[in-house]
Each structure stands twice: as C-alpha cells, then as structure tokens.
Amino acid sequence: MESESGSVSRNKSGRIKALISLLGDDDRKIRRIAKSHLLELGDDATSLLDQTVREDTDGKTRIQARAILEQIRREELALSFHILAMQRDEDIDLEKGVFLLARYAYPQLEYHEISSELNHLAHRVSEMIGDSTSAGKIVYSLNHVLFEEAGFRGNTDNYYSPENSFINKVLSKRSGIPISLSVVYLLVARRLGLPIYGVRMPMHLLCMYDQPPEPFYIDAYHRGHLMTRAECISFMKRAGVGFKESYLERASNREVLGRVLRNQILVYYHNEEDRKVSFLKHLLKILKNYS
C-alpha cells in the first residue's frame, strides 16, 4: 500500500511538471502565473526544472525553465549568505562562504567535495608534523604537502580565468591566484589548529604564522615562500601601494571572504559578465552590511 507521504510527493511532482509544461504556453498570462508558482515552490522545483533545461526539446520552455532555475538558486544563495553574514566576524565560516560562492557557478557542487579534499590534505600534513611544535617544521610540512606532493601552483598563464577563484576548481586543478591559494592554505591550517591567519595586505593576500616574538608571513601564490615583516614592507613599496601598519594585521574571516568576492567581481567584470557582477556585488553588500 502506498504511503501518504509518497502520494503527496507524487502529487507535488505532477503539479510541478504541469507548471513547467505551461512555461511554453502561447498565452503570456499563463506563462507568468506558472512562473510565479514555480518560484514559490523554490527548491522543491529545482530538480525537475534542471531536468527540463537538460532534456526539453521545446526552446521556449527550456529558456523559461533555465531563467526560473537561476532565479531560485540566486535567491537561495542570497538567503544562505545573509545567514552567514549575520555572524560575528570571528565566527563567520570561511569554508562555508567560499563553498556558497563556488556553488553559484557550479550548482551541483556538494559540500563534501570540498571538505573531503581539505581533510585529506590536512591529514597528510599532520602525518608529516608528527609531535613537533616547531613553527619551521610545521610550515615546511604544509608547504611540502601542498606545493610538492599535491602540486598547487600560481596560475600565471590564465590569471583571469573564473576557475582560479572557485575553491572546487582550485582544489581539482591545483592552480589558483593569491587569494584562492591562500584560502586553501588557511583552511588546511585551521583543521590542524595552527596559528595561521590571512593578513590585510592589499593586492596580494598573504598568510601569517602568528608566533612570538614576531610573526612571519607566507606567500601561497609563490609556493609558500616565507617573508619577514621587512620584506613585506619592501614588497608593498615596490608595488606602489605604500605601507600602513594595519596592512600586516590579521584579517578577519569576513575580510578574507570580502576579498574573495571582490576578486570574483573583478574576474567577471574583466570577462564582461554583467549579470554575475551585479549579483556578486549584492552579496558583497550583504556581507558589509553586517560588519
């Protein structure tokens, strides 16, 4: 005997299919009503809408379904980002944030695809570190695993490719830009409870190993190259940005996530994808509104 929940689910599926079929109707009013109902259904409708986008032979229905699907996903992402941004700066989940941004570009992405790879990298680093508490040994182990064994590198050939900015692609291709490689470095380090943080230096994000009496700095884009405070100051002056003491202070998770967003906005602007630029600017505004 069919369960009540199974019957309800089947009825809902039938209703969604009927609404999707109306997206190709010649009557604009009917199309508008169908769209309104599908948007109200939200996530419940995404699977069948996605199936329509992939399989439907009627161009009008497919175009309408794709537009509705994208709108539902944007609204869900904006809501998730609101919830994330409401947290205190120190409580914002950087990993969840970069996952959400990646899912905007890759809607089928699952969180475990990110977390499991980061877990694997952290486990390998932990094996190398052993019982050592030496900062030198710890950073050597991190650098060896990430840049020698795993082969992460800075993408100098195609710097403005959007793939350089999304955590899933950086993890799979082992290639990225300063901000995305630094995020990988930070997320692996945090799994191990290490005192490694992003810093506020403009243009080129660095990581900082915060140890007394003086921290040192790590350039993930250049295979974990170590830098002293004096070398960081010299780097900024050569880059023409000058130096402020605050540039070498810890960056909060909110600040790091904001830099990821601004970089993605720049990439999409460079590629003339105005709609994506507009939506990411909306997310950046949400992030800043709660700071």
| Both structure tokens of 43 | 């996530």
Are the CB atoms for 257 and 98 separated by under 8 Å? yes
Domains of the chain, by residue range, sit at 4-85, 90-289
Among 31-40, 134-143, 211-220, top mean pLDDT goes to 134-143
- Taking only the tens place, the pLDDT of each residue in 158-172 is 888 889 989 999 999
The pLDDT mean for the chain works out to 90
- Taking only the tens place, the pLDDT of each residue in 137-147 is 999 999 999 99
pLDDT above 60 (res 2): no
Kind and range of the H or E element at 216?
strand 216-219
Residue 56's pLDDT band (cuts 50, 70, 90)? low
Residues whose CB falls within 8 Å of the CB of residue 249, separated by 6 or more in sequence, listed in order: 199, 200
Kind and range of the H or E element at 196?
strand 196-198
Global pTM value: 0.86
| Both structure tokens of 225 | 């190259």
- Can you give the pLDDT at residue 157? 87
Rounded (5°) CA angle 158-94-268: 35
- Tell me the backbone φ, ψ of residue 22, rounded to 5 degrees: -75, -10
- Domain 4-85 annotated CATH 1.25.10.10: yes
Residues whose CB falls within 8 Å of the CB of residue 131, separated by 6 or more in sequence, listed in order: none
